[in-house]
Amino acid sequence: MRCDVLAVGTELLLGQIIDSNSAWIGGELAAHGIDSLVQVKVGDNVGRMTTQLQRLLTDADAVIVCGGLGPTHDDLTREAIATVMGVALVEDLALVDVISSMFAARGRTMAANNRRQALVPVGATVIPQTRGTAPGLICPVVVDGAAKVVYAVPGVPHEMKEMVERAILSDLRRRSGTDAVIASRVLRTWGASESGLNERLDGLIAELDEPGVPTLAFLASGWNGLKIRLTAKAATIDECRAQLDTWEARVRDEIDDIVFGTDDETMESVVLDLCRQAGLTLAVAESVTGGLVGARLTDIAGSSDVFRGAVVSYATDVKRELLGVVASQVVSEEAAREMARGVRDRLGADVGLALTGVAGPAGQDGQPAGTLFVGMVGPGFDDVRHVRLPGQREQMRQFSVITALDLLRRHLLAG
């Protein structure tokens, strides 16, 4: 089963909005064993939308059209699909009532142009809306004698995701005629490039074409690490899990030194869990990152039982007066160690983590942009690491966060 994606909106072409919807849809299709080979963006023009939809349907069994279901004059997805189907649009009075009721529930009167959202191509099935006013559509199409299908979903991400999960993935599975179960597992890594990771796993990747073996994909996630997704397909969920267990163990045999978590775990959630398991509290002193470490730690629900707080000691005098730094150069190994000790003592924590460095563009204290010193003190360790990171200012700062947390993670594991 192949399902391609057509993202609609002139704003996508102008770069005013990033097309994250297609990326999410592609990931969900892959996780459910459905091929998606082409993703296209097209502006709000019914002729061009029709042309692109016809081209996609030449090769694909299904197409998900994302966007263009709103109430305004430039929301033309319904018209384009009806043209491809060769049918008329008709007003669904029951949908008019549903949309009108949504407005009434909010104490508002429905505008006349919202009736456009109740137009349905003849022969299409409506996907009820649960979060907004734009219903989705399931539209059967015949191309050169072959039965195909077009799905239309809103462009608002949370509306689109709910509709895809609730109605479209199950329909695609039914149309594919397979009863197989598909399951995925994600290993999250930090410390290797995508090419370097690929090279380390070359031997295993060579085996992935064999029957009964999961597929493996690399998913670069910027400063959240590099993900390895294993996807298994089998008759039962237990068989899938058995495949995933076997191949996760084999992958870990090769790269376990850089695997920090699985599935929804993040570097910050893993560090908090390790502290929690050891009965340790954590305090952070930040200079170069300006509070980014503390923000990511407190994004994790329940972090307050571990995380004592952070001191954003950006100015030199704050480092000296608040954290007791006496090193002559504040971007140095000595300063990082003193910051870690100072924040641990100042906030009454068991573990102190400190980051000082140069984000750029200019250097400081004789250190070039991209320099990071990470100080770590805690039960059984008192260490500083010097790291050189790539990228412009924001990228370097974000890389500093995950790098520092990873270095602390390793000490906590060793302890």
**What is the DSSP-derived secondary structure letter of residue 152?**
E
Residues 51 and 163 placed together within one structural domain of the fold: yes
**What is the DSSP-derived secondary structure letter of residue 111?**
P
Residues 243 and 334 placed together within one structural domain of the fold: no
Q: How many CB atoms lie within 10 A of CB 181?
A: 16
Strand pairing class (136-143; 146-153): antiparallel
Q: Which of 131-135, 143-147, 329-333 has the lowest mean pLDDT?
A: 131-135
What is the C-alpha separation between 317 and 335, in angstroms, rounded?
A: 12
What is the C-alpha separation between 224 and 399, in angstroms, rounded?
A: 8
**Domain assignment of residue 29, given as a range:** 3-176
- The pTM score is 0.74
153: pLDDT strictly greater than 70: yes
What is the C-alpha separation between 295 and 384, in angstroms, rounded?
A: 22
In this structure, what CATH number is given to the domain that contains residue 395? 3.90.950.20
What is the C-alpha separation between 142 and 148, in angstroms, rounded?
A: 6
Closest to 100 measured CA to CA, from 115, 89, 78: 115
Q: What separation, in Å, do the N-terminal and C-terminal C-alpha atoms of the chain show?
A: 50
Residues 167 and 21 placed together within one structural domain of the fold: yes
pLDDT over 90 percentage in the chain: 80
What is the C-alpha separation between 231 and 234, in angstroms, rounded?
A: 10
178: pLDDT strictly greater than 90: no
Higher pLDDT, 98 or 139: 139
Band of the pLDDT at 30, cuts 50, 70, 90? confident
Closest to 327 measured CA to CA, from 384, 370, 273: 384
Strand pairing class (259-262; 181-189): antiparallel
Q: What is the pLDDT of residues 276-306, one digit of tens each?
A: 999 999 999 999 999 999 999 999 999 999 9
Average pLDDT score over the chain: 94
Strand ranges inside 154-225, DSSP E: 181-189, 215-220
Alpha-carbon separation of residue 350 from 72, 319, 412 (angstroms): 58, 20, 12
Residues 185 and 162 placed together within one structural domain of the fold: no
In this structure, what CATH number is given to the domain that contains residue 186? 3.30.70.2860
Total domains present in the chain: 3
Residues 50 and 82 placed together within one structural domain of the fold: yes
What is the reported pLDDT for 87?
97
Judge whether 253 and 245 are in contact, CB under 8 Å: no
Task: Answer with the one of 176, 209, 231 that is the final residue of a domain.
Answer: 176
391: pLDDT strictly greater than 90: no
What is the reported pLDDT for 208?
80
What is the reported pLDDT for 209?
66
What is the reported pLDDT for 129?
86
What is the reported pLDDT for 38?
97
Task: Answer with the one of 262, 288, 323 that is the final residue of a domain.
Answer: 262
What is the C-alpha separation between 117 and 125, in angstroms, rounded?
A: 14
Closest to 126 measured CA to CA, from 154, 147, 106: 154
Residues 252 and 316 placed together within one structural domain of the fold: no
Higher pLDDT, 16 or 415: 16
In this structure, what CATH number is given to the domain that contains residue 70? 3.40.980.10
What is the reported pLDDT for 222?
82
Residues 234 and 105 placed together within one structural domain of the fold: no
Residues 130 and 228 placed together within one structural domain of the fold: no
Higher pLDDT, 325 or 217: 325
What is the reported pLDDT for 364?
92
Residues 387 and 291 placed together within one structural domain of the fold: yes
User: The tokens 């996609």 sit on which residue?
Assistant: 56
State mean pLDDT over 123-143: 93
pLDDT over 70 percentage in the chain: 99
Higher pLDDT, 357 or 108: 357
Closest to 367 measured CA to CA, from 393, 340, 333: 333
Q: What is the pLDDT of residues 213-232, one digit of tens each?
A: 898 988 888 888 999 999 88
What is the C-alpha separation between 247 and 250, in angstroms, rounded?
A: 5
Judge whether 139 and 124 are in contact, CB under 8 Å: yes
3-state secondary structure of 407: helix
Task: Answer with the one of 233, 262, 291 that is the final residue of a domain.
Answer: 262
Band of the pLDDT at 415, cuts 50, 70, 90? confident
Length of the chain equals: 415
